[in-house]
Structure 1
Amino acid sequence: MIYHHTLQRIDGTQEPLEQYRGRVLMLVNVASKCGLTPQYTALQALYERYRDRGFEILGFPANDFMGQEPGTNEEIAQFCDLNYGVTFPLFAKISVKGETIHPLYRTLTSLPEPIGGQVLWNFQKYLVDREGNVVAKFDPRTPPDAPEVVETIEKLL
């Protein structure tokens, strides 16, 4: 269950994840200077396709992998808007591994395999059901619109 976490949005406002109760969520750690950064296009398309059915994507910028998210929150927000037209919620930059791991990601990574375990790279995706349970994890290289991802989202909706 992830609803007990409150995080800072990229604009600085605090947002309890409790407000997403009843929605299907995709949690994804993102980066602006990664070979996988073009996944933003598919993420935004998924968001537009399913948001009216109760689907949300929550993006968590993280600079944990080879410094591929070096910008400030303002720079990240601007990059996402200008280059990919991102309208899904983005949060302030956090750490998704190591000693400074954010409590949300500590919760995610402490779950038993195959849905838990360490974050492998930028754009690792977790799917959360309407009750706040993490039900699936997808490898960073798996596109957000891969058939197995879309099929899982549709089952949860």
Structure 2
Amino acid sequence: MSIYDFVVKTNKGEEKSLADYKGKVLVIVNTASKCGFTPQFKELQDLYMKYKGQGLEILGFPCNQFAEQEPGSNAEVQEFCRLNYGVTFQIFAKGDVRGENAQPLFQYLTRQQGFKGFDPAHPNAALLQKALEEHFPEYLEGDSIKWNFTKFLVDREGKVVARFEPTTEPSALAGEIEKLL
């Protein structure tokens, strides 16, 4: 099994094989438009613009599992990302990223790269940890996705090489991306 074995749905409901991205470096991220981490769309778009000519693709997967912070339809999500952050990278259909109904892709990603903790230097790390402990303690168990804007880095051979939690700003991935390009 590899990343290229998965088929996902575009925001228009069409099937898209991840095999179409063979030879590319990928950042796969679960997103939400009404989250404290939503401004990360700007840095994700900046990374995409800087490196897409060298083979980077960013794949966004909207999810409404975390405090219902992605309530819109697939079309509304796409429009929000484009209008507010100039997003031109691929945004896929909304879907679950944790639990028994998680998209198979995200089940695979979390098996490949487990949770290693939040970046304590991030200004929202303590807030996120506290909110999870108080309201969603089950989210802290195991290697599942903990919140919106968890990012996975995939090399040109399709190997999931790193996981970055929401408390890692996308710009911090630049050095890791450059090593793979």
TM bin, normalised by shorter chain, reads over 0.9
Q: TM-score, normalised by structure 2?
A: 0.82
- Relative distance call for 1:38 and 1:112 in structure 2 (3 A) is closer
How far is the alpha carbon of 1:99 from its aligned partner? 1.5
> Is the Cα–Cα contact under 8 Å of residues 113 and 162 in structure 2 kept in the other structure?
no
Unmatched 5+ stretches in structure 2: 117-141
Counterparts of 2:27 and 2:114 in 1: how far apart (Å)?
Answer: 18
Corresponding residue pairs, total? 155
Q: What is the one-letter code of the residue matched to 2:15?
A: Q
Question: What residue identity is the alignment partner of 1:39?
Answer: Q
**Which of residues 131, 152, 157 in structure 1 aligns to 2:176?**
152
* Alignment root-mean-square deviation, CA: 1.4
Are the aligned partners of 1:7 and 1:17 in contact in 2 as well (CA < 8 Å)? Answer: yes
Task: Tell me how far 1:18 sits from its aligned partner.
Answer: 0.1
* Structure 1 match to 2:138: none
Deviations 1:55-99 (A, max 9, x none): 000000001110000111011011111111110001000100011
Aligned counterpart for 1:119 among listed residues 145, 151, 154? 145
Shift in alpha-carbon separation, 1:40–1:97, aligned structure 2, 3 A = same
- How high is the TM-score relative to the length of structure 1? 0.95
Q: Measure the CA separation in 2 of the matches of 1:73 and 1:13.
A: 12
* SS in structure 2 at match of 1:3: helix
Once the two structures are superposed, what CA deviation does each residue of 1:85-123 show, in whole Å capped at 9, x if it has no partner? 110001000100011100001111122536892111100
CA distance in 2, matches of 1:13, 1:31: 21
Judging by fraction of residues, say which structure has more helix: 2
Match of 1:86 in 2: 87
Query: 1-side partners of 2:95 and 2:103: how far apart?
Result: 6
For residue 29 of structure 1, what is the aligned residue in structure 2? Answer: 30
Q: Which residue of 1 aligns with 2:123?
A: none
User: In structure 1, what is the equivalent of residue 160 of structure 2?
Assistant: 134
1:4 matched to which residue of 2? 5
How many angstroms apart in 1 are the aligned matches of 2:113 and 2:21? 23
Larger Rg: 1 or 2?
A: 2
C-alpha offsets along residues 130-154 of structure 1, whole Å, 9 cap, x if unaligned? 01000001111111002xx111100
